[in-house]
Structure 1
Amino acid sequence: STIDILNAMQLESFTIGNHEFDWSLDKVTRYFDPSYEGIKANFPLLGANVFYKDTTIRPDFIDAYQIVEKANIKIGIIGTMGYGLESSIATAMVEDYEFQDPIYWTGYYAEELRVNHDVDIVLAVIHGSSDYTNQGIGALTGQSRVDATFNGHSHQNYVRFEARTGVDMPVIQSSSNGRAVGKVTLNLSTTGEVINYQAQNLTASSDARLSGQSAIIDAKISYYYDQVEPLLNEVIIKSKETYSRDQLTYYMAELIRVSGEAAIGLHNFGGTRSSLEQNQNITVATLYDIFPFDNKVKTARLKGSIIIDFIENGASGSAVVYEQGLSLGTIDPNQYYVVATNEYVFDQTDNPFIDGDDIIDTGIIIRDVLEAVLRKQAETHTHFDINLPVVLSKLHDTVLLKFDEMIEIISIQA
């Protein structure tokens, strides 16, 4: 559905980002394979600095650049991943790849585009927003010079510039989820040189064209909506209270702990993407809004001293919960405990889990755990309440697994 709609939007190119790795890169690149029998993208996937690890071999069906010709002007578009964004991807999904220096590869292909393809304008599209990267691209000169840079990843809304000799380089990022459209106008001299620019982020309130509807896009959305309509409209249960993203993160940490039969549970705050409002209808679609990533529950046995060190020094981005009677202060440094978390946190090489004992990949998607809890609550309650006992339906059959643990109310420090 996504590829079909992007095709209808008539994209010139698409630059790869971290979420293209969420379900494995192969599942995305197949849409760019000419031999694929399903819907194929009619635009290229760009990733000039995306390589198999320790090589300069790019995965199949990922290109470095695209050349577009408009009104006799040749425009080269170079797409790159932001440097270091491997850490934003589950290790299992990115361990075979690396994102090399976007400054170097942007300059490399800018020169190739100007020298070998005689382009008039070079645009850099980076799935990243590092000032260092923007400054480095802005400092490229001669045949490697870049005329404008488009950022992504951080979901910010800004227009900036990198000062340099001649015309400065505009840098723009246009929010997220279609809230804005970046517009950069480059004015050329009669000899094809950029002499000035204008850059702005357009919104529905600032440009009437963005407040209208596209009949073609609406028809496609309706077609796919009808196929998933039961998931969108079947109300599992209503929310008793307003629950913030932080509260839901702690709640998910507890569900991960219980489903992994662990003493300690963790869930990263960045893995929770939405909140719940009081009396809100909760559907499967709601669960995808809150927990969009298909992360599985994984467990390992770790020594208490290692757990204490990690929680005190490395777990600031995660909610941590404990079984009844246990806390950070009561962990025995010499005793071993089962710890459960999602695979994104588990697989990070800076975290201690991959070096633990008795590692188990449960295969259970964390979102499915929450759905099981909600459906069980709905049998006896009209509203979802994070203070009710956790009762999980076994996720692979109808046998019920009942747990005695009560969810603690976690006080979130400001």
Structure 2
Amino acid sequence: MEKVIDIYNLSDFHGAILEEANKVGIIKIATFLKTIKEERKGSYLFLSAGDMYSGTYFSEVTKGKPLTQILNSLELTCMSVGNHEIADPKLMKEVLNEASFDLINSNVYCLNGNRLQIGKEYIIKELNGIKIGIIGTLGKMQKYDIINNISKDIIVKDEVNTVKKLSKFLRKEEKCEIIILLSHSNTYNLEDKIAELKDHEKVDVMINGHTHKKTCRIINCISKRKMAYIESGSSGEVIGNIRLTLSSKHHIIEEVSLENIDCCTLKERDHSYLEMINYFIRDNDLIYNEIGSIKHFYNKDIFLKAFCDYILKEYQCDIAVMNYGSIRSKGFPLFKNQIINISNIKEINPFNNYLVIGTINSDVMNFFINKCASSLYFSYINGINKEEVKVIMIDFVYFQNESLFIEHIISKENIPDIIVKMIKEEKL
């Protein structure tokens, strides 16, 4: 009789715990997965490719506890490290103190050559009599999505070489029959490079996070086998499902099917999950306190311009510099006369970024603008026609370009504080 492994994937959830206008929330997702878990005992495997917690104010103020409790109940086996897990070690320490699941970090190292002690190097799981090895990697370029005061102390080793080494070890030494890679990477065709691996180094399933794309591919490999590849959106848009059908005797994969299940189609809410979330809402009801209403319609681009215009005048600077990722697309659109609370603001900037104000030589600044014009957002009040210019820059960019500044100070208000101020002053 054939054997089946049913893999479910929820990645890049970004703390989208509550059901809101543009989010399904964890309750419906958990209710669906709870039913699947009960129906498919012995074949159910629940995994995540990282970035599960950071992204909403509710997740921040509850320290992710409701999400951890629900993931525990759904028997999440493990999640790989994403850039947000690396960027917030304090939160991850609290999460792992309560989690029954493991975190995997296969390729992030300290400068001294030791693997960064956040999570295990790999996981082995036996399911339906089949031994499964699970590897978790961070993309090399994702180091630069982490604020510099953390990223400067880590090394992200090559993903392909890491996978080759660990897959070979897991197959030969640990006798694993299936290898799953949880990758958190901007890929650059990484999946095709992984699919080229063969013999003891080969990977059977690759689940990728970070891109927020929704992709299902069955890749034909050079060794006449197939590798399942899936990316499953963000913030609970979809749940990924990969089904492997294996021969009963030698556990050879005979059939692969995969899909992204649209979470908007989910209707059921388990009462126990509803009660759990309501408990945390009652304990943190300040998230719904109204700050005020906005006077105009804003998409991300319009808002970014309005924000930069405000800080240029408020701090009397010549140039404002922001990275596009600091203002999050999921916080928009904002509609005219919409009532705004702190939760809305944390959707726009969930990372509590600060601003750095200082002076930079004009020639140095001109060179920096020309170099970074396509990757950063620049806004001006005055032309650069003096020897030194006063610049206001988001901390994420500052920490990567600290040497540009002649002198600097860090603002006392973070970006959410400034947005609150703009609303109260009717500047939005």
TM-score by structure 2 length?
A: 0.79
Q: Which moved more, 1:223-232 or 1:78-87?
A: 223-232
Q: Deviations over 1:227-272 (max 9, x none)?
A: 222222x211112121110111122223443454422212222211
Query: Is residue 194 of structure 1 aligned with residue 253 of structure 2?
Result: yes
Cα distance between partner residues in 2 of 1:97 and 1:215: 43
Report if the CA contact (8 A) 2:239-2:263 is conserved. no
Pick one of 163, 167, 173 that aligns with 1:116: 173
Aligned match of 1:343: 395
Report if the CA contact (8 A) 1:29-1:62 is conserved. no
Query: Is residue 238 of structure 1 aligned with residue 293 of structure 2?
Result: yes
RMSD between aligned residues: 2.0
**One-letter amino acid matched to 2:85:** E
Larger Rg: 1
Aligned match of 2:204: 147
Identity percentage of aligned residues: 24
Residue-pair matches, total: 358
Aligned match of 1:18: 83
Aligned match of 2:34: none
Query: Is residue 219 of structure 1 aligned with residue 275 of structure 2?
Result: yes
Cα distance between partner residues in 1 of 2:157 and 2:180: 19
Q: Deviations over 1:85-109 (max 9, x none)?
A: 1111211232211211111111211
Aligned match of 2:227: 169
Report if the CA contact (8 A) 1:15-1:79 is conserved. yes
1:80 aligned counterpart, secondary structure: strand
Report if the CA contact (8 A) 2:105-2:118 is conserved. no
Aligned match of 1:374: 423
Query: Is residue 103 of structure 1 aligned with residue 184 of structure 2?
Result: no
Cα distance between partner residues in 2 of 1:80 and 1:215: 36
Report if the CA contact (8 A) 2:236-2:263 is conserved. no
Q: Could you tell me which runs of 5 or more consecutive residues in structure 2 were left unpaired when the two chains were aligned.
A: 1-64
Cα distance between partner residues in 1 of 2:186 and 2:418: 34
Matches within 5 A, 1:84-95: 84-95=141-152
Moved over 4 A (4+): 258-261
Q: Deviations over 1:305-334 (max 9, x none)?
A: 2222222331333332233xx1xxx312x5
Cα distance between partner residues in 2 of 1:7 and 1:331: 55
Cα distance between partner residues in 1 of 2:200 and 2:226: 16
Cα distance between partner residues in 2 of 1:185 and 1:288: 37
Q: Which moved more, 1:309-318 or 1:292-301?
A: 309-318
1:359 aligned counterpart, secondary structure: strand
Aligned match of 1:394: none
Larger RCO, structures 1/2 (Cα 8 Å, 6+ apart): 2
Cα distance between partner residues in 2 of 1:231 and 1:117: 48
Aligned match of 2:354: 296
Q: Could you tell me which runs of 5 or more consecutive residues in structure 1 were left unpaired when the two chains were aligned.
A: 33-38, 378-383, 387-414
Aligned match of 2:410: 361
CA drift of 1:132 comes to 3.0
TM-score by structure 1 length?
A: 0.81
Cα distance between partner residues in 2 of 1:168 and 1:150: 14
**One-letter amino acid matched to 1:331:** I
Pick one of 70, 73, 89 that aligns with 1:8: 73
**One-letter amino acid matched to 2:126:** E
CA drift of 1:385 comes to 4.1
Report if the CA contact (8 A) 1:254-1:266 is conserved. no
Classify 1:166/1:61 alpha carbon distance in 2 versus 1 (closer, same or farther; 3 Å).
same
